[in-house]
Amino acid sequence: MIATALLALALGGGAVDTIPRLTLDEALTRAARVDPNYVRALGNVSSADWARRSALATFVLPSLTLSSDYTFFSTEQFNIGIGAPASTIVAARADVRFGLFTGGRKSAELKRARAEQEGAEATEVQARFGVALATEADFYAVLGGQELLQVANDRVSRAESQLVVARARVVSGAVVQTDSLQVLLELNQARIGLLREEAAVLVARLSLGRRVGVGGPVDVAPTDTTLPELPLGLPQAVELAALEGPDYRIALANERQAEAFVKSQRASYFPQLSLGANLSSFDDRFFPDALSRSSLTISLSFPVWDGFQRELAINRARTTLDVARAQREDALRATAVDVTQAYSAYQTARQTAEVSSQAVSIAQENFRVQEARYRAGASTILDLLEAQTRLTEAQAQLVQSRYAARLALAGLEALLGRRLFRD
């Protein structure tokens, strides 16, 4: 019973009003809220922003540590706070430390944090357009499935109408029995095709529901199916992808992080100069205030030999940098390939849709003529069935090419990191 009700809902049966119906913009918004990859990308942006703040704070703010001890002895010990033996000793300390010279480590860490933030922001854009691409694929699968379902319904209706005509002509003796059998075969095939399209629409609606966070089928509102000319040429698209495309920005940010990490490792060859301050209080109770001591310390450390650990770390950092640089260069080359492919796919699908629209008009006229000729006895049933097949194929080709163009456009926008026709 549940499966039957779900099937009726997904196919838009009697309870169609209970199925959520979303526009494309609504589907994109809801999908972004529930997609795990995008949620993770947003969290990484927040983490990277705090990492940048932390690296920036080390330039102006010292580290501060507050601690306290409460010690109970079974035998009384000398308590420096009260100057007498006591069974409890309470101490409180405040330690402040600030690096005066770190050999460039602070600036390197700040550069690395900024590069990490740039990479996180680019990853967020990549994830957002990745969700959009997947959502549009599911959205157009529903729209295209509904149109193909209508094509299948029209095919069944034509076959039923032809069967009536063919049987009447068989009864009148104008044609032989095989004419009605040929049409009956076409009708059965049309009904099988209709069942397949119904199943495809069911799956597409459920898939879209999952994408937007709904535990059931989701219907879609009609959307603009026009295919406008792209507002930029191929060279401009490639250049834009290299400047703003998330894939290349991520590779560039990774290279900058690797460069900053190499500089950070080189800082281990320089002396480290730091300033420290301490304030301690002692007593036999909270809060200790019987005796206080303060100190100011300037520390200088100079690493001389650590068993080639520094050299090993720098070598590994340089290797990471070499890999990141190679990946960035490869990403730049891949940008031209991917953008050209997506750009050409849109242009090809757009032109195919225009040609397919003309093909549908031609096929409709050819079917009308063949149907009239068959009714008049001037044509055979095979000619009529062939005309119907061509009409069905032309209608399906039009639907597929139109939504293939929309998907190609979504793929191009994902590479560019921006919308070309809408916000």
The pLDDT tens digits for 354-364 are: 999 999 999 99
Res. 34: pLDDT tops 80? yes
The percent of residues in the chain predicted with pLDDT above 90, rounded, is 62
The single-letter code of the amino acid at 202 is L
Residue with the bigger pLDDT between 306 and 166: it is 306
Rama region for 143: left / alpha / beta (φ>0; ψ in -120 to 50; rest): alpha
13 pLDDT tier (thresholds 50, 70, 90): very low
**8 A C-beta contact, residue 360 and residue 391:** yes
In the block, residue with structure tokens 């603009």? 224
Res. 111: pLDDT tops 50? yes
**8 A C-beta contact, residue 294 and residue 278:** yes
pLDDT for the residue 173: 66
Tokens of 419: 């919308």
Res. 85: pLDDT tops 70? yes
Residue with the bigger pLDDT between 411 and 162: it is 411
For Cα atoms 184, 188, 190, give the angle at the middle one, nearest 5 degrees.
Answer: 110
pLDDT for the residue 1: 41
Q: What is the mean pLDDT of the chain?
A: 88
Nearest alpha carbon to residue 233 among 99, 24, 416, 386: 416
Beta bridge partners of 281: 92, 292
The secondary structure element, H or E, covering residue 409 is helix 381-416
The secondary structure element, H or E, covering residue 338 is helix 309-375
Give the whole-angstrom CA distance, residue 305 versus residue 102: 18
Mean pLDDT of 300-312: 88
95 pLDDT tier (thresholds 50, 70, 90): very high
The percent of residues in the chain predicted with pLDDT above 70, rounded, is 93
Mean pLDDT of 54-62: 89
pLDDT for the residue 360: 92
User: What are phi and psi for residue 307, nearest 5 degrees?
Assistant: 70, 40
The single-letter code of the amino acid at 335 is T
364-to-43, 85, 97, 149, 370 alpha-carbon distances in Å: 54, 108, 84, 18, 10
Res. 150: pLDDT tops 80? yes
Mean pLDDT of 265-291: 90
Give the whole-angstrom CA distance, residue 257 versus residue 263: 10
Residue with the bigger pLDDT between 261 and 168: it is 261
The single-letter code of the amino acid at 69 is D
**8 A C-beta contact, residue 349 and residue 408:** yes
175 pLDDT tier (thresholds 50, 70, 90): low
For Cα atoms 355, 356, 358, give the angle at the middle one, nearest 5 degrees.
Answer: 65
412 pLDDT tier (thresholds 50, 70, 90): very high
DSSP-derived letter for residue 13 is -
Res. 12: pLDDT tops 60? no
Nearest alpha carbon to residue 106 among 37, 165, 57: 57
Handedness of CA 255, 258, 264, 265 (dihedral sign): negative
- Other Cβ atoms less than 10 A from the Cβ of 13: the count is 12
183 pLDDT tier (thresholds 50, 70, 90): confident
Handedness of CA 293, 299, 305, 308 (dihedral sign): positive
Mean pLDDT of 377-398: 87
Beta bridge partners of 64: 96
Res. 2: pLDDT tops 50? no
pLDDT for the residue 3: 46
